[in-house]
Amino acid sequence: MKLSTLEAGLKSRAAAAFGLEEGAMGAFHLAAPPPHISADVSIAWPIAGARLLGKPPLKIAEELKNVFAADFDARSVPPGFVNLKLGDSFLFEALRDLEKPGCFARPEFKGEKINLEFVSANPTGPMHLASGRGATLGDSMARIYRALGAEVSTEFYVNNVGKQVELLGRSLKARLNGQEPPENGYQGAYLMEMAAALPKEAAGWTDAQFSGYAVTEMLKLHRADMKAFGVKFDRWFLESELHEAGAPEKTLAALKARGMTYEKEGAVWLGTSTVMESDDKDRVLVKSDGRNTYFLNDIAYHLDKFDRGFTTVIDIWGADHHGHVPRMEAAVAALGREKSKFKVVIHQQVALLRGEELIKMSKRAGDFVALKELVGDVGADACRFFFAARGPQTHLTFDVELAKKRSNDNPVFYVQYVHARIASIFANAAGKGVDPAAGYDEAKVVIRPEERALMLKLLWLEKTLADCARDFSPHHLTTYLSELAASFHSFYDKCKVLDPENKELSAYRLFLLKHVQAVIARGLDLLGVSAPERM
């Protein structure tokens, strides 16, 4: 039985005991009690239920304790908690359930079909650190959503049409001719390298040919960077595909049919302020000269996503796109789609710390650290773990020297080492003739506090993944893995694993470590980080 299954059962029993509908008990959750509390799980619902029932929280906690007392060691404590100690048989059964396929699937994700778009860096230069953070966030959340039972399609949107692409082509042409890029052009050394590799016939190319060549070459680099970073997109969607299909025009017609547009000063406007309080003014869709705005093209792209049958559309954008969120939310509402089915996640920028020096970066000026460079310096594992270790809304300073350390100060090394250490324990067991598959009598096992803490920590992975989905952030998982590694060290310092004179005890403890190793490997994989067997 999983903790979520136990929680659902306890919630149902509590609702029946108090004569309530289960929907009225939304705040009923199991939580891990503080270390100094002698309990396995804690329930704080009596505090939230006090107003609902018109009783003091401690009185409700006492009544709830009596509801569960027949099956659990239950205690009520001020100001209104119920603490439960789980049976040993439950712990063993729950650990075995971790071995089952789909063990983390949750009912709320059944039937969910999610389109997850992330990175979507303009093809005007190499991937930078913010792209790496967005890639880590998107790819990790895609893996977590799949583990929870959702169907997920990942997507990279390529803006290969428009002024920026034209400016990129003109910048490349200038470099070929030994000139400086035009005003507001792209200054990076990567364009000099690209210009040096141009074929001889490029001297006669049009500006459009320079732009097309530059975009194609940049996309090759982007694909290679993402592959080296362990990120695979189900689709690379070119903006030009939208125009070839006439999607902007179809979208404009759909908005007009819904009465969401009007004309003013020769332009076509979307009345976003009428459908969303978050957007304070209307937006232009078609300029007075007849050209579409980027906004109309973006709306067309999102309508295309919904028309492909996705139940939820999630975009991950960098901090510089924060101002676009209200207008896109308004546009989705104008299309008649549910607000809850569209979500934009904003992630903050990344600063790089090399020793005592904080590196400042500007992509347009060509003064930045490429993602490829950082991966080559510290490795993809450290990059992904460090990027995932902070919530997207938190500014991140990436400490290069810490990421390169091979010690417990480095959080990714600390977690990976536990996986490798357990692998060596199993190799040692084989050398001593201790069979990990040997049986032991669960009923005779006396679970020590360190073992119990380890077992309970393993069971919280499911809830941790649900927390990641709730907050759209994998940082809960990096924290969980670090805490699990600490629990392992506490266990290993006090409990001898291999004892040839006590084969049942050895088998039992190897059973625990097998699950610790499996959970660490699964957790690291959800972050896109490797789980080495030697370090």
Identify the domain boundary among 404, 439, 469.
Answer: 404
Please list, in sequence order, all residues whose beta carbon lies within 8 angstroms of the beta carbon of residue 145, skipping any fewer than 6 positions away: 109, 112, 114, 116, 152, 469
CATH number of the domain encompassing residue 476: 1.10.730.10
> Mean per-residue pLDDT for 485-503?
93
Regarding whether 228 and 117 lie in a shared domain, the answer is: yes
The verdict on 432 and 455 lying in the same domain is yes
Residue 226, pLDDT above cutoff 90: yes
Q: How far is 44 from 496, CA to CA, in rounded Å?
A: 37
Average pLDDT over residues 253-274: 90
Residue 220 and residue 166 share a domain: yes
142, 17: one domain: no
Asked, for residue 294, whether it belongs to a domain, the answer is: no
| 309 domain-assigned | no
pLDDT of 277: 60
Is the pLDDT confidence value at 435 over 90?
no
Confidence at residue 360, expressed as pLDDT on a 0 to 100 scale: 65
* Overall pTM surpassing 0.85 (yes/no): yes
Query: What CATH number is attached to the domain comprising 174?
Result: 3.40.50.620
Question: Can the peptide bond before residue 79 be classed as cis, meaning omega within 30 degrees of 0?
Answer: yes
**Residue 527 in this model has a pLDDT that exceeds 50:** yes
User: Is the predicted pLDDT of residue 278 greater than 80, yes or no?
Assistant: no
Q: Compute the distance between CA of residue 294 and CA of residue 253 in angstroms, rounded to an integer.
A: 17
| Domain count along the chain | 3
What average pLDDT does this structure show over 177-197? 93
- Listed as own residue / partner, the contacts of 18-23 with beta carbons closer than 8 Å and 24 or more positions apart are 18/49, 18/53, 18/63, 20/52
Q: Are 233 and 353 in a shared domain?
A: yes
Q: Give the pLDDT of residue 397.
A: 94
Same domain, 387 and 418: no
Token duo for residue 101: 């396929």
| 9 inside domain | yes
- The boundaries of the domain holding residue 475 are 411-526
pLDDT tens digits along 97-107: 998 989 999 99
> Is there a domain that residue 126 lies in?
yes
pLDDT, averaged across the chain: 94
pLDDT(500) > 90: no
pLDDT in tens, 349-382: 999 999 888 886 555 444 568 899 999 999 999 9
In this prediction, residue 27 has a pLDDT band, given cuts at 50, 70 and 90, of confident
**In this structure, are 416 and 483 located in the same domain?**
yes
Q: Tell me: the pLDDT tens digits for 149-180?
A: 999 999 999 999 999 999 999 999 999 999 99
pLDDT at 19: 95
Is residue 273 a part of any domain in this protein? no
Which has the higher per-residue pLDDT, 432 or 180? 180
* 48 falls within a domain: yes
Share of the chain above pLDDT 90, in %: 86
Contact 81, 43 (CB under 8 A): yes
pLDDT band at 188 (very low <50, low <70, confident <90, very high): confident
Sequence-ordered alpha helix ranges (H) in 202-322: 207-228, 239-244, 247-257, 294-307
Position 531: which residue type? A
31 confidence band (pLDDT: 50, 70, 90): very high
Region for residue 325 given its phi and psi (left: phi exceeds 0; alpha: psi -120 to 50; beta: otherwise)? alpha
Q: What is the C-alpha separation between 298 and 304, in angstroms, rounded?
A: 10
For residues 355 and 518, which has the higher predicted lDDT (pLDDT)?
518
Using 50, 70 and 90 to split pLDDT, how confident is the model at 303? Answer: very high
